[in-house]
A = this chain, B = another copy of it.
Amino acid sequence: MNNLIEKVNQKLEEYMDIRYPESIFNSMKYTVTLPGKRLRPVMCLEACRIFGGNIEDAMPIACAIEMLHAQSLIHDDLPCMDNDDFRRGKPSNHKVFGEAIATLAGDALLSYGPQLIIEKSVNLPPERVLKVLREYTKIAGAYGLIAGQVVDIESEGDESVKNAETLEFIHTHKTADLFRLALKSGAIIAGASDTKIQEMDDLAQKFGIAFQIYDDILDEISTFEDLGKTIGKDKASGKLTYVSLYGLEDSKKKLNSLFAEIYDIIDKYHSEILKNIVKQMELKIAK
């Protein structure tokens, strides 16, 4: 696991080289290389390994997913969205580079990921590269992440839509979709069958929802120092979360039942890495 994180960090450093005009490349690099657990790229590489692929082949898409994740963080933090001044314990992108450059850095990351995938995958079957790009573009746009973000924003002031269905839609797209892209694209690069790709899709959906419940619980029980971002904002703004909808105890129950389902799937694939990721979440909540 640590070995994979290190590999991903090295590649991100390599890919995010600084060109003219430097401000935009510095701004892109700033958020992409913030220290993090690199969960999504690691899961992408692991899915590739599970299905017999060479993880080096999955490295461009793994890094592109981290860039897409960074893009969504940069734009979510903007004053016109969540207006957040901190991210992973550091000033958010627009606090360092200004709003104009931060907006453009997010835009640039949306294209740079696919550009890398194409340029670095010249030795892979073009059909496979196109299949990955099809998943990427769908999930990066209004059918994926952005659909989740829009419903999240619009539900904030509207009590009539604060229900389980809305919550599920938001986090299927805002959270699960990036894990879906990670596990599916790793499997695609390895040449897995459509049935196996679909199994990764199901696993990612369960994992994504579990991850969001976990995140909502942490937001409820942690401090700024623990998480490195503004805490309790969701509660203060009356945002729809698992904890606000189900309460802390029922959220924990829901999470544990999802963990059980996820372990069942992971065990079939004998993946120590995926198992460890879930185990660490379980331990953190149990504390």
Which A residues fall within an 8 A CB radius of B? 19-21, 23-25, 28, 71, 75, 78, 80-81, 98-101, 103-112, 114-115, 118-119, 126-127, 129-130, 133-134, 136-138, 140-143, 146-147, 149-151, 153-154
**Is B142 within 8 A of A24, CB to CB?**
yes
4 additional A-B pairs beyond A109-B141, A111-B137, beta carbons within 8 Å, are: A110-B110, A111-B141, A115-B138, A115-B143
- With CB as the reference atom, state the residue of chain B lying closest to A152: B21
Specify which of B20, B71, B80, B133 is in contact with A114 (CB 8 Å cutoff). B133
Give Cα A141–Cα B114 distance, bound, in whole angstroms.
10
- With CB as the reference atom, state the residue of chain B lying closest to A139: B111
- Taking CB atoms, residues of chain B closer than 8 Å to A19 are 142-143
In the complex, the 10 A-B pairs of residues with the closest C-beta atoms, listed nearest first: A111-B141, A80-B99, A115-B137, A108-B142, A126-B126, A111-B140, A111-B137, A21-B150, A108-B141, A114-B137
- With CB as the reference atom, state the residue of chain B lying closest to A25: B142
- A206 CB, min distance to chain B CBs, angstroms: 23
Give Cα A147–Cα B23 distance, bound, in whole angstroms.
10
Among A104, A126, A130, the one with the most B-chain Cβ atoms within 10 Å of its Cβ is A104
**Is B108 within 8 A of A80, CB to CB?**
no
